[in-house]
Structure 1
Amino acid sequence: MFIETETTPNPATLKFLPGRAVMPSGTRDFASPEDAEASPLAAALFDSGDVTGVFFGSDFVSVTAAPGADWSALKPQVVAVLLDHFVSQAPLFTGGDASGFTVPAEDEAEMLGDDEGTEDVVAQIKELIETRVRPAVAGDGGDIRYRGFRGGVVYLQMQGACSGCPSSTATLKHGIEGLLKHYVPEVTEVRAA
């Protein structure tokens, strides 16, 4: 098995491609060792001590290094953990089935909600995010989650390599906001949630 690595726009994050599916659907973001307790793989990556974030995409794992961490020393450790996991076919989540692909329920607690009577607008926004924005963000080792539409403002949450990336504000304001405003006139602004 060979694991490729790619840089991301976030200098603290590398994208690791194991050449096979990681998540069959959806994504999962681990922002702390406590979050990672749900996944043996994420927990093992955090165990290095130099990892501050792990993100599972459809066919990649993004790993964020702590400030001051040396990627030349950390990268071989991450590759070794990933190889051990995928070669042994260990479950991705605790309590996972034999294939290791038990997808956790999406955290709805962070939803801000939508204004009443905006179902059609929200459907257009979600469609654009799913078809136009998500694939581009996944290419950079991250994901974006819809969190609500209120008073013309779309609330989105950046995850993975995109969370904390120096260019994430520009991506939200100039890229995503421009796209949504163009196709959905009811959108006046995009904000991070």
Structure 2
Amino acid sequence: MYMQTEKTPNPSALKFIPGPKIVETPIDFPSMETARMSPIALRLFSVAGVTSVFLSHDFITVTKAEDISWDEIQPTLSAYILAHLAAGKPILSDTAPFENSAEPSLESDDAVTKDIKDIIDTRVRPAVARDGGDIVFEKFDAGVVYLRLKGACSGCPSSTITLKSGIENMLRYYVPEVKEVRAADE
């Protein structure tokens, strides 16, 4: 089994592309404590310097501490992922519930919120996934869209530019009610 890796715009995050499908719905594990439901995420967190693990449809993004070199940990991470998949071990434990990474449109959403979610799902999330991350709608309040950054996007030096120059401009163009876009943790 061969696995491809790709650099991301975040120098602290690396995208591992093993080939087979990983998960149906993207899941972010920002710490080891949140990874108890995923044997593979727990295994990756056992490598010194790993700070977060993001599982997506066909890739795994691992983020490391800045003081750790990829040369030190990439071979171990690759070996763990390949061994886990080759052994047919589960990605998620059967008993563990998980929080859906995407926020589906709800019946109670107003037309503006539905439009925002649709644009994010169809135009933004696929582009961000190519960079090893995910962006999830949190809320729309008083003209401000709040988005949660996950995977390689979380902590990325260019995330502010992505939010302001890319996503904010796009949403303001298609949805005039949008005045600003912010990271949900601001």
* TM-score normalised over the length of structure 1: 0.89
Q: Give the corresponding residue for 1:74.
A: 73
Does the 8 Å CA contact 2:27/2:99 hold for their aligned counterparts? no
1:141 aligns with 2:143: no
Q: 1:104 aligns with which of 98, 115, 137?
A: 98
State, as a whole percentage, how many aligned pairs show the same letter: 48
Equivalent residue of 1:34, what SS? helix
SS in 2 for 1:68: coil
Amino acid at match of 1:104: F
Match of 2:123 among 115, 125, 132: 132
With the length of structure 2 as denominator, give the TM-score of the two structures.
0.92
Question: Distance between the aligned counterparts of 2:109 and 2:33, measured in 1?
Answer: 36
Give the distance between the partners of 2:167 and 2:31, measured in 1 at CA: 27
Question: Which runs of 4 or more aligned residues in structure 1 lie more than 6 Å from their structure 2 counterparts after TM superposition?
Answer: none
Contact 1:23 1:103 survives alignment (8 Å): no
Q: How many residues align?
A: 181
**Residue identity in the other structure for 1:48:** V
Counterparts of 1:53 and 1:10, CA distance in 2: 13
In structure 2, the partner of 1:64 is: 63
Structure 1 residue runs without a partner (length 5+): 97-101, 112-116
Residue from 154, 158, 162 that aligns with 1:171:
162
**Gaps in structure 2 of 5+ consecutive residues:** none
Contact 1:54 1:63 in 2 (8 A): yes
Checking the alignment, whether the CA contact within 8 Å between 1:15 and 1:60 is kept in structure 2 is yes
Provide the alpha-carbon RMSD of the alignment: 2.0
1: distance between equivalents of 2:34 and 2:130?
24
- 1:99 match: none
Question: How many angstroms apart in 1 are the aligned matches of 2:53 and 2:99?
Answer: 18
Alignment of 1:1-193 (within 5 A): 1-24=1-24, 26-95=25-94, 104-106=98-100, 119-193=110-184
